[in-house]
Chain A
Amino acid sequence: MSIEMGIRDFIAGELSWDGSPEDLDLDYPLLEREVVDSLGIFKIISFLETEYDIEIDDEELIPENFESISKIAGLVAAKTGV
Chain B
Amino acid sequence: MSFTLHSLLERSADRFPDHPAVVDGARTITYAELDLAATRLANTLSELGVRRGDRVGLYLEKSIEAVIGIYGILKTGAAYVSIDVKAPIERSTYIAGDCGMEVMVSEEGRLSVWLEPDSPIRRVVALDAETQGNVVGRSTIEAASDTRLETGTIDQDLAYIIYTSGSTGAPKGVKLTHRNALVFVNWAVDEFDVGHTDRLSSHAPFHFDLSILDLYAAASAGATVYLVPPMASVFPVQINRFITEHAITVWYSVPSILSMLVQRGKLTHGAFESLRWVLFAGEVFPTKYLRVLMERLPHVRFSNLYGPTETNVCTFYNVESLPDPAAGDIPIGKTIPNTDGYVVGEDGNRVGRGEVGELWIRSGTVMAGYWGDPDRTADRLIDDPFAAEIVDKVYRTGDLVQVDSNGDFVFLGRRDNQIKSRGYRIELGEVETALYRHPDVIECAVVAVPDDLITNRLVAFANVRDGVTTADLIHHCKQTLVPYMIPEHFEILEVLPKTSTGKINRQSLTQSAQGDNT
Q: What is the minimal beta-carbon distance from A71 to any residue of chain B, in angstroms?
A: 13
Q: What is the minimal beta-carbon distance from A75 to any residue of chain B, in angstroms?
A: 13
Kindly state the separation between the CA atoms of A16 and B484 in the bound complex, as whole angstroms.
10
A37 touches B235 (CB 8 A): no
Report if A2 contacts B (CB, 8 A): no
Kindly state the separation between the CA atoms of A38 and B257 in the bound complex, as whole angstroms.
9
A58 touches B483 (CB 8 A): no
B484 touches A61 (CB 8 A): no
A66 neighbours in B (Cβ, 8 Å): 234-235
A16 touches B237 (CB 8 A): no
B237 neighbours in A (Cβ, 8 Å): 58-59, 61-62
Kindly state the separation between the CA atoms of A61 and B235 in the bound complex, as whole angstroms.
6
Interchain CB contact (< 8 A) of A31 among B231, B260, B266, B483 = B231
Interchain CB contact (< 8 A) of B475 among A18, A39, A40 = A18
B234 touches A37 (CB 8 A): yes
B234 touches A58 (CB 8 A): no
Interface string of B477-492 (1 = CB under 8 A from A): 0100001100010000
B264 touches A61 (CB 8 A): yes
Task: Name which of B234, B471, B474, B484 has the most chain A CB atoms within 10 A of its CB.
Answer: B234
Report if A51 contacts B (CB, 8 A): no
| Cβ-closest chain A residue relative to B474 | A13
A18 neighbours in B (Cβ, 8 Å): 475, 478
B471 touches A13 (CB 8 A): yes
Tell me the residues in window 354-411 of chain B with beta carbons closer than 8 Å to chain A beta carbons. none
Report if A34 contacts B (CB, 8 A): yes
Kindly state the separation between the CA atoms of A48 and B257 in the bound complex, as whole angstroms.
21
Kindly state the separation between the CA atoms of A58 and B235 in the bound complex, as whole angstroms.
9
Kindly state the separation between the CA atoms of A6 and B237 in the bound complex, as whole angstroms.
26
| Cβ-closest chain A residue relative to B233 | A38
Kindly state the separation between the CA atoms of A30 and B230 in the bound complex, as whole angstroms.
13
Report if B86 contacts A (CB, 8 A): yes
Interchain CB contact (< 8 A) of A42 among B265, B453, B471, B484 = B453
A34 touches B235 (CB 8 A): no
A-B contact count (CB 8 A): 54
Q: What is the minimal beta-carbon distance from B70 to any residue of chain A, in angstroms?
A: 22
A38 touches B234 (CB 8 A): yes
By size class, the interface of chain A is: 20 to 34
| Cβ-closest chain A residue relative to B475 | A18
Tell me the residues in window 253-272 of chain B with beta carbons closer than 8 Å to chain A beta carbons. 257, 260, 264-266
A36 neighbours in B (Cβ, 8 Å): 234
Q: What is the minimal beta-carbon distance from B234 to any residue of chain A, in angstroms?
A: 5
Kindly state the separation between the CA atoms of A14 and B489 in the bound complex, as whole angstroms.
8
Report if A5 contacts B (CB, 8 A): no
A40 neighbours in B (Cβ, 8 Å): 234
B265 touches A58 (CB 8 A): yes
Q: What is the minimal beta-carbon distance from A15 to any residue of chain B, in angstroms?
A: 9
Q: What is the minimal beta-carbon distance from B239 to any residue of chain A, in angstroms?
A: 10
B266 neighbours in A (Cβ, 8 Å): 58-59
Report if B236 contacts A (CB, 8 A): yes
Report if B422 contacts A (CB, 8 A): yes
Kindly state the separation between the CA atoms of A38 and B453 in the bound complex, as whole angstroms.
12
A34 touches B478 (CB 8 A): no
B474 touches A63 (CB 8 A): no
Q: What is the minimal beta-carbon distance from B396 to any residue of chain A, in angstroms?
A: 31
A43 touches B488 (CB 8 A): yes
Report if A41 contacts B (CB, 8 A): yes
Tell me the residues in window 457-479 of chain B with beta carbons closer than 8 Å to chain A beta carbons. 471, 474-475, 478
Kindly state the separation between the CA atoms of A59 and B240 in the bound complex, as whole angstroms.
12
Q: What is the minimal beta-carbon distance from A17 to any residue of chain B, in angstroms?
A: 8
A39 touches B478 (CB 8 A): no
Kindly state the separation between the CA atoms of A62 and B86 in the bound complex, as whole angstroms.
23
A37 touches B483 (CB 8 A): yes
Kindly state the separation between the CA atoms of A16 and B478 in the bound complex, as whole angstroms.
8
Interchain CB contact (< 8 A) of A34 among B86, B238, B422, B488 = B86
Interface string of A14-35 (1 = CB under 8 A from B): 1010100000000000010010
Kindly state the separation between the CA atoms of A39 and B24 in the bound complex, as whole angstroms.
22
Q: Quick one: given A42-B453, A43-B488, A61-B264, are A37 and B233 in contact (CB under 8 Å)?
A: yes
A39 touches B235 (CB 8 A): no
Kindly state the separation between the CA atoms of A37 and B232 in the bound complex, as whole angstroms.
10
Q: Quick one: given A14-B474, A42-B453, are A63 and B483 in contact (CB under 8 Å)?
A: no
Q: Can you list 27 pairs linking A and B with CB atoms under 8 Å apart?
A: A13-B474, A14-B474, A16-B86, A16-B478, A16-B483, A18-B475, A31-B231, A31-B234, A37-B230, A37-B234, A38-B230, A38-B233, A38-B234, A38-B257, A38-B260, A38-B422, A39-B422, A39-B483, A40-B234, A58-B236, A58-B237, A58-B265, A58-B266, A61-B235, A61-B236, A62-B238, A63-B231
State the A residues within 8 Å of B (CB): 13-14, 16, 18, 31, 34, 36-43, 58-59, 61-63, 66
In addition to A16-B483, A31-B234, A38-B422, 19 A-B residue pairs with Cβ atoms within 8 Å of each other are A14-B474, A16-B86, A18-B478, A31-B231, A34-B86, A37-B86, A37-B230, A37-B234, A38-B233, A39-B422, A41-B235, A42-B260, A58-B236, A59-B237, A61-B236, A61-B237, A63-B234, A63-B235, A63-B238
